[in-house]
Amino acid sequence: MAVSNSEIAAVFERIADLLEIQGDNPFRIRAYRNAARTVQGLSRSLADMVAKDEALEELPTIGKDLAAKIREIVKTGSLRKLSQLESSVSPGMVNLLKVPGLGPKRLRKLRDYLNVHDLDTLEKAARQGRLRQVPGFGAKTEKNILRELQDLQLRTRRFLWAEVEDLAEQLVAYLRRQPGVKQVEMAGSYRRRRETVGDLDILVSASRGSGIMDAFIGFAAVERVISRGSTRSTVVLRTGLQVDLRVVPQVSFGAAWHYFTGSKAHNIAVRVMGIQRGWKVNEYGIFDKEGQRIAGRTEKEIYSLMGMEWIPPELREKRGELEAAAEGRLPRLIVEEDLRGDLHCHTTRSDGQDSLEAMARAARDLGHDYLAITEHSQHLRVAGGLTADELLAHCDAIDALNERMKGIRLLKGLEVDILEDGSLDMPDQVLQRLDICLGAIHSGFSLAADQQTERVIRAMDHPAFNVLAHPTARLMGRRAACALDMERIMDAALERGCYLELNAQPRRLDLNDVYCRMAKERGLKVALSTDAHSTGQLSYQRYGVAQARRGWLEKKDVLNTADLKHLLRALRR
DNA sequence: GCCGTTTTCGGCCCGACTGTTTTCAGTCG
């Protein structure tokens, strides 16, 4: 299959790493990193654009040279420039860049003085006390590096957003209770609602001498302190999660909140806009030529001075949000209240933990108008998949419950396995009885991309098929996404009147943000579903909504914002 | 390597903290 955008982005990142080790021009290195980010966030396939001979140079951060490199990668599957670089740098050096505190300059020094060229030689040199002999290094640096080497596995791990949610809320509540504290807010990728976070960024304004830093460092879950200053401190919690705290004056709070929310690329772009207007932008505000602060108290001030609407944090990835804000065409992002029901859940009849009735009541309590009951099919034996007869009996049970229960409509559904040949794991006449049919891949994850794509499209050919559940089948941190030609699948879904799911399970969040936007741009609606396996998980909609917002989705882009009547109509192909 | 409402050359975001220096380089976010 054609080279994916992610692969092209990885090539550029790799080149940037290697150039960095070589001590190349930092701006060239940044150009490669910027390009990698652009490529990663694109909602069209570059291979496709190359095939159609479109002008890649018109993409931001892609100039003549990088456009040629993209074409080379697409056409030959490799890049000569990368091969050349790989052969001139020891392969272990790139790993060394991941050690916190080690940048390209120190790295080169260690290589030149001690012949350090990978993690092993670094550790050996540090243990033997040889690092401290290198100019610019001392005993403390040596000790820190040894410690970082030990923690490397832990520190390079990213956490699921939902994994840190409780802790983040506790920490914010704890800080808000401290005397003299005026405002405490989460920033960083946590606030932007990225599906995973590498650390937490917290912003505080407090009166002078409030002792907020001591309080922060004294938080019960803190394991060690990395740095401690008067305005900024960094700690590591027992879970390995790093937390940064910044203290700023209230007049700067908006500027600081904006700055520490990021993303980095978004911030740099805003600063450049400031420079073009003759201002200086930093975390303390926007300053004119005389050094007078002309904005800073709120984020809205910052954006409005730049001639823009306030941009929701989920959009701040430098993927066109600044242009949209300047032109007043930011999307009106979906909110949880827009959802009218849930289209994917399980009960004890397959692998759920709660009964049909309990799930129905819980959904009604959440204000849902409808809930689709979608057990597994028999091919998925480990999850208690249903045979045809069992499904028919379950449909009867759902009908019966619908008779007696008011305030919510249960939809008869199924999460049917898409078998390796693209057929569905349930007889046609049984599928006909359903209100909604989700198809999902639960086996054969590693098929080649064109085979996998054909398999899915063949499944969608079935007239009963409505929604492709968790399309790539990824489990973050556990299983990679299936190789799929998502553009073809989306086009096929549109032609057939099918939909793709955004599965709200925190480890899935599948579709991801880029694919959500790709769907929106094609006019393909997304089904936002929890795949709840218990009553408590019905509230996972909030995770799905966050992902949808990152994908620029509005109410109209999501299938289950429709009322029951329109939903049922949309499910008739 | 990219980019242009000062510019097709000469810029490229900006500040905090640490550790090693003895006024600052390196790293990080």
Same domain, A388 and A441: yes
Q: Rounded distance, CA A93 to CA A119, Å?
A: 8
Same domain, A227 and A291: no
Same domain, A169 and A129: no
The H-assigned helical ranges of A250-387 are 253-261, 264-276, 299-305, 321-326, 356-365
Same domain, A39 and A79: yes
- Spell out the per-residue pLDDT of chain A, length 573, in tens: 688 898 999 999 999 999 999 889 889 999 999 999 999 888 889 999 999 999 999 998 999 999 999 999 999 999 999 999 999 998 889 889 988 889 999 999 999 999 999 999 999 999 999 999 999 999 999 999 998 888 887 777 889 999 999 999 999 999 999 999 999 999 999 999 999 999 999 999 998 778 899 999 999 999 999 999 999 999 999 888 999 999 999 999 999 999 999 999 999 899 989 988 889 899 999 998 888 999 999 999 999 999 999 999 999 999 999 999 999 999 999 999 999 999 999 999 999 999 999 999 999 999 999 999 999 999 998 889 999 999 999 999 999 999 999 999 999 999 999 999 999 999 999 999 999 999 999 999 999 999 999 999 999 999 999 999 999 999 998 888 999 999 999 999 999 999 999 999 999 999 999 999 999 999 999 999 999 999 999 999 999 999 999 999 999 999 999 999 999 999 998
Q: Is the N-terminal amide bond of A85 cis, ω within 30° of 0?
A: no
Domain assignment present for residue A521? The answer is yes
Tracing tokens 């009960």 back to the chain, one arrives at A347
Could you tell me which residues come within 8 angstroms of residue A270 by beta carbon, excluding any fewer than 6 positions away? Answer: A258, A281, A302, A306, A322
Same domain, A85 and A19: yes
- Packing angle of the helix pair A356-365, A388-404 (nearest 10 deg): 50
Same domain, A98 and A218: no
Closest residue (Cα, C1') to B13: A268
Same domain, A73 and A194: no
CA of residue A227 to C1' of nucleotide B23, angstroms: 22
CA of residue A292 to C1' of nucleotide B25, angstroms: 30
CA of residue A242 to C1' of nucleotide B11, angstroms: 35
Same domain, A474 and A547: yes
Residue that finishes a domain, picked among A326, A353, A384: A326
Its domain, for residue A538, covers: 336-571
Closest residue (Cα, C1') to B27: A101
Domain assignment present for residue A105? The answer is yes
On whether the CB atoms of residues A497 and A532 are closer than 8 A, the answer is no
Shortest CA to C1' contact from A108: nucleotide:
B26
Residue that finishes a domain, picked among A263, A293, A326: A326
Q: What CATH number does the domain containing A482 carry?
A: 3.20.20.140
Largest interatomic CA distance in chain A? 81
Shortest CA to C1' contact from A275: nucleotide:
B13
Could you tell me which residues come within 8 angstroms of residue A472 by beta carbon, excluding any fewer than 6 positions away? Answer: A481, A482, A484, A486, A510, A511, A512, A515
Shortest CA to C1' contact from A267: nucleotide:
B13
Task: State the total domains in chain A.
Answer: 4
What's the order of all strands across the beta sheet hosting A222-228? A181-187, A199-206, A242-247, A232-237, A222-228
Q: Within 196-225 of chain A, which residues have Cβ less than 7 Å from strand B?
A: 199, 201
Domain assignment present for residue A331? The answer is no
Same domain, A424 and A494: yes
CA of residue A69 to C1' of nucleotide B11, angstroms: 24
Domain assignment present for residue A308? The answer is yes
Q: Within 279-308 of chain A, which residues have Cβ less than 7 Å from strand B?
A: 280-284
Tokens matching residue A494:
């549109």
Residue that finishes a domain, picked among A110, A137, A154: A154
Q: Is the N-terminal amide bond of A539 cis, ω within 30° of 0?
A: no
CA of residue A233 to C1' of nucleotide B16, angstroms: 9
pTM of the model: 0.89
Same domain, A184 and A284: no
Residue A77 is classified by DSSP as S
CA of residue A138 to C1' of nucleotide B24, angstroms: 16
Same domain, A368 and A484: yes
Shortest CA to C1' contact from A242: nucleotide:
B29
Residues A358, A362, A364: CA angle, nearest 5 degrees? 120
On whether the CB atoms of residues A333 and A352 are closer than 8 A, the answer is no
Closest Cα partner for A104 from A33, A8, A25, A32? Answer: A25
Closest residue (Cα, C1') to B14: A282
CA of residue A137 to C1' of nucleotide B24, angstroms: 14
Q: Which nucleotides of B are covered by protein (CB under 7 A)?
A: 1-3, 5-6, 11-21, 25-29
A445-476 burial: b if 16+ Cβ within 10 Å, else e: bebebeebbbbbbbbbebebbbbbbbbbbbeb
Same domain, A388 and A530: yes
